[in-house]
Amino acid sequence: MSSLRRLLVAAATVFAASSAADAQDPARLRRIGLLMPSTQAATTNLVAALEEGLREHGYVKGQNVAMDYRYSDGHADRVPHLAAELVRAKVDVIVTTTDAVVRTVSQHARSIPIVMVNTSDPVGGGLVNSLAKPGGNVTGLTNFSPEISGKRIELLKEAVPGLSRVAYMWNPDLAGAAQVYRDIQAAGRTLNVAIQSAEVRRAEDIEVAFAALAEGPGTALLVQAPNPLLYTRRKDIAQRASDRRMPSMFNRHEYVSAGGLMSYGPNVPHMYRRAAGYVDSIFKGAKAGDLPVEQPSRFELTISLRTARALGLAIPQSVLMHANAVLE
């Protein structure tokens, strides 16, 4: 072996050893990029849950980890620019949410590990190869649960006497939306409940959608999940539903706190807290593509008796007994 070749081999060995040691070095300041497709105010509790999880794994802002926050404020066209900013900031990992945003981020950050949270259909949407073996640079947590749509309609039917129609507010363009809508239609047929589609792609569509909804004591509202725009406008949606005396079902308790009637779904802040575990594994040398995607195993039902009284509803004890939280 020539002297030059021995020198190159030695240099490569030192570089590899240095890189491996760097990946395991807990004292090095790591950079985490967090890209949220909603507003800062609307996602405060989710960011807090992620940071709490990081502290549980020994990561403290300003000591051994730095956080780069980006918010698109519900504007999808901003996401590519924010993703590019995080790449230029040379973050070590990106945490983000929803299928569409994860896809956009992955197109800009092909060599940066991505931890997704609260996605609808990561396999069907092509974000990962499989839940058990994601491959690529994306892993994390999904809310994917085929039976959850039917359960939401079932709870509505049990809570609302004479329920005959459910208006579904959704954006068909979101990843996985078509399959969820088919699940909802199937559940409606099984429970003898008609499904009315109310498509919302922009904030101004919300008022138009409500104006087109059928009114009457037998109609309730079901809102798509996850949907950053609808989540950001949750107070407006809950108020409009109440003004029309329309019982409403959502996926997250924040909608109920904003005035909605019921929510049933995974504990999303808990998912963000668990996302910190993925970040920790990646910092310790694991490849994102080798970390299995986690499905929800714990669902929570929240009911607002205050909203129920305003609607003239008496929630049956058979429903209340399953509630994780009841707002008086």
Tens digits of residue pLDDT in 166-194: 999 999 988 778 888 999 999 999 999 99
Query: CB 189: neighbour CB atoms within 10 A?
Result: 11
Pair 272, 320 in one domain: no
Pair 252, 282 in one domain: no
Pair 65, 179 in one domain: no
DSSP state of 294: B
- Residue range 19-37: average pLDDT? 72
Helices 177-191, 148-159: inter-axial angle, 10-degree rounding: 40
Pair 160, 309 in one domain: yes
User: Which pLDDT value is given to residue 225?
Assistant: 85
Does the pLDDT of residue 287 top 90, yes or no?
Answer: yes
By residue range, what is the domain housing residue 231? 148-266+299-327
User: Which pLDDT value is given to residue 56?
Assistant: 97
Pair 159, 115 in one domain: no
Pair 117, 152 in one domain: no
CA distance 156 to 41: 29
pLDDT band at 93 (very low <50, low <70, confident <90, very high): very high
Locate 287 and state its tokens: 């490849």
Does the pLDDT of residue 154 top 90, yes or no?
Answer: yes
pLDDT band at 26 (very low <50, low <70, confident <90, very high): low
Pair 43, 192 in one domain: no
Can you say how many angstroms the Cα of residue 159 is from the centroid of all Cα atoms in its chain?
A: 26
Contact status, residue 268 vs residue 293, Cβ threshold 8 Å: no
Pair 18, 121 in one domain: yes
> For residues 143 and 215, which has the higher predicted lDDT (pLDDT)?
143
Contact status, residue 61 vs residue 1, Cβ threshold 8 Å: no
- Which CATH number belongs to the domain containing residue 89 in this structure? 3.40.50.2300
User: Which pLDDT value is given to residue 18?
Assistant: 39
User: Which pLDDT value is given to residue 27?
Assistant: 58
Helix (H, G, I), strand (E, B) or coil at 215: coil
Pair 174, 320 in one domain: yes
Pair 133, 46 in one domain: yes
